[in-house]
Structure 1
Amino acid sequence: MTDGIPIEITGLTKRFGAVTAVEDLSFTVAPGRVTGFLGPNGAGKTTTLRLLLGLERPTAGTASIGGARYRDLPRPLETVGAALDAAFHPGRTARNHLRVMATAGGIRRNRVDAVLAQVGMSEFADRRVGGFSLGMRQRLALATTLLGDPRVLVLDEPINGLDPEGIRWIRGFLRSLAAEGRTVLVSSHLLSEVQQSVDDVVIISRGRLVKAGSLAELESEVSPRTVIDSPDRARLAAALDQAGLQYVDGRNGLIVSEPDPAVVGHAAFVGGVEVSALHRLASGLEESFLALVNGGAQ
């Protein structure tokens, strides 16, 4: 591999009429690393990727790949491989799909067998795509992005809906691509999906950047917290407010920025609230992610 190519997003803004999908967004994706582009559904991730790939025009700011806009790259498919909303003709075989894509992109047809082998699909090459599982379709989408042997990979929710075996495979595959010096940007709405795959994270919410840095930095910032729940969350929230405790909504209760469950439980007791769960949070990384995208403490 030659020198890596960074992705640079600077002051990027996109408005659709009165709706601002992306606002003043800036971050860099480094070569040789897997970067998780994270945020809840509707946060602006797909819009950002479409702006990066020239599928939308920005209202303001720039999105560049190695210092150039996608549309200005001399041979874009040999620089960037992207999988956004991959669509396949169900009657075509995997091999034929890749041949069509290679011909359309001016790519040598001998790359077809190479990428089929790279994603472990050689034995399925002549099967019709209509009979593929979701995992096999994800592999075919990856094979399509690799046709031009690009140094930059942009993948939108590649792990979504996969079974555990498929998740393990794609995690290792992404790592191997980054180890070759490629720039790998992977979007997801759940940190837990990509936590074992990524080196860096870019977290956005409501179209704005809320965190960018290494995963290790994010992990180091996680402080002990307490989870509490009640059949009546509204009354529980009121009791925590009365006690001056800060909290955010979690999947299994309210996550309180107080490490001692006794203090949190006492607040619920004083408020006369029935408690159905109360425990110290063992690993708060995903909860910290949720706190960031939900706008911090209530």
Structure 2
Amino acid sequence: MTEGIPIEIAGLTKRFGSVTAVDDLTFTVEPGRVTGFLGPNGAGKTTTLRLLLGLERPTAGTATIGDARYRDLRRPLETVGAALDAAFHPGRTARAHLRVMAAAAGIRAHRVDEVLELVGMREFAQRRVGGFSLGMRQRLALATTLLGDPRVLVLDEPVNGLDPEGIKWIRGFLRGLAQEGRTVLVSSHLLSEVQQSVDDVVIISRGRLVRSGSLSDLELDASPRTVIDSPDRLRLASALDQAGLEYTEGRNGLIVSESDPAVVGHAAFVGGVEVSALHRLKSGLEESFLALVNGGGE
């Protein structure tokens, strides 16, 4: 079992001129668990990860791995494996890329073949990266993060570009790393991409924390709701307001905090609104996530 190292984010703020990208974030990522770092595109996830890895300086607050900032780690690649905006020389083979990275970090050369085996790329070791699919580049990026056998993994959108088989593989792989006692932080803009692999969630919107806790707690909060839509959403929203029904805007209509579609449909009827969709959500988890990020808070 690997000794766990937590990630601690405390009062973290980053401003770019008049724009606040990260706003007073505080949360902890625990060892032995996979934590999903979630939020829509532009929520501040990547900026937060860059602050954690010392690629940006915070305006205020701290981001530490254990008790240390990334820049103060003596052998950073043996503590943290991170994949953010991975870049590869298209003319190098996968093995050559990993050998260059290992040599630069003072990591033994035979570790290269070990990580190629771990991520299922041994047969592609001599192929040039320029011919790789996006999914294969994702695997190579993951192999790079594992070179130092780190106790902390920080991965930005790791399932992007993977086919269903690849997504299933990486879910099991990340969970296996967590079961060894490692700290695993995975960012995504979609809960559906990571919900089968994460234990905890940290959800941000507009740079601010809107939810932090276990996935099971979020599932408990996903109470039944009703989706309704109309060619005239403005009139529909007005009808729901008149009926005193609370709602948020989802991908396929308005999501109403009412489990009985008949009640919602009656509100539309009273308001004289044409309805194009009306149904109860079978699972409200993804919609609860969308309501959190669209509302910017609880």
TM-score higher than 0.5: yes
Q: Which residue of 2 aligns with 1:54?
A: 54
Q: Which residue of 1 aligns with 2:179?
A: 179
For 1:286 and 1:296, the matched residues in 2 are separated by 15
Offset of residue 271 of structure 1: 1.0
Q: Which residue of 1 aligns with 2:69?
A: 69
Structure 1 residue runs of 5 or longer lacking an equivalent are none
Say if 1:94 and 1:128, in contact at 8 Å, map to a contact too.
Answer: yes
For 1:20 and 1:63, the matched residues in 2 are separated by 17
Q: Which residue of 1 aligns with 2:158?
A: 158
For 1:160 and 1:190, the matched residues in 2 are separated by 11
Q: Deviations over 1:140-188 (max 9, x none)?
A: 0000000000000000001123221111111111111111111000000
For 1:160 and 1:137, the matched residues in 2 are separated by 10
Computed over aligned residues only, the root mean square deviation of the Cα atoms, in angstroms, reads 1.0
Q: Are 1:212 and 2:212 an aligned pair? A: yes
One-letter identity of the residue aligned with 2:52: L
Structure 1 residues 103-112 or 180-189, which shifts more? 103-112
Offset of residue 203 of structure 1: 0.2
One-letter identity of the residue aligned with 1:38: L
Say if 2:210 and 2:296, in contact at 8 Å, map to a contact too.
Answer: no
Say if 2:4 and 2:151, in contact at 8 Å, map to a contact too.
Answer: yes
For 2:296 and 2:63, the matched residues in 1 are separated by 28
Offset of residue 13 of structure 1: 0.4
Q: Which residue of 2 aligns with 1:124?
A: 124
Q: Which residue of 2 aligns with 1:4?
A: 4
For 2:104 and 2:229, the matched residues in 1 are separated by 55
Offset of residue 44 of structure 1: 0.4
One-letter identity of the residue aligned with 1:276: S
Q: Deviations over 1:194-217 (max 9, x none)?
A: 000100000000100000000001
Structure 1 residues 17-26 or 228-237, which shifts more? 228-237
- Map residues 1-298 of structure 1 onto 2, 5 A cutoff: 1-295=1-295
**Aligned positions, number:** 297
One-letter identity of the residue aligned with 2:15: R
One-letter identity of the residue aligned with 2:209: L
One-letter identity of the residue aligned with 1:261: P
1:186 and 1:196, CA in 2 relative to 1: closer, same or farther beyond 3 A? same
Offset of residue 3 of structure 1: 1.5
Structure 1 residues 158-167 or 171-180, which shifts more? 158-167
Say if 2:37 and 2:203, in contact at 8 Å, map to a contact too.
Answer: yes
Q: Deviations over 1:212-241 (max 9, x none)?
A: 000001101111110101111111111111
Structure 2 residue runs of 5 or longer lacking an equivalent are none
**Percent identical residues:** 87
Say if 2:205 and 2:296, in contact at 8 Å, map to a contact too.
Answer: no
For 1:284 and 1:224, the matched residues in 2 are separated by 6
Say if 1:40 and 1:189, in contact at 8 Å, map to a contact too.
Answer: yes
- Give the match's secondary structure for 2:227: strand
TM value normalised by structure 1: 0.98
Say if 1:248 and 1:296, in contact at 8 Å, map to a contact too.
Answer: no
For 2:125 and 2:284, the matched residues in 1 are separated by 43
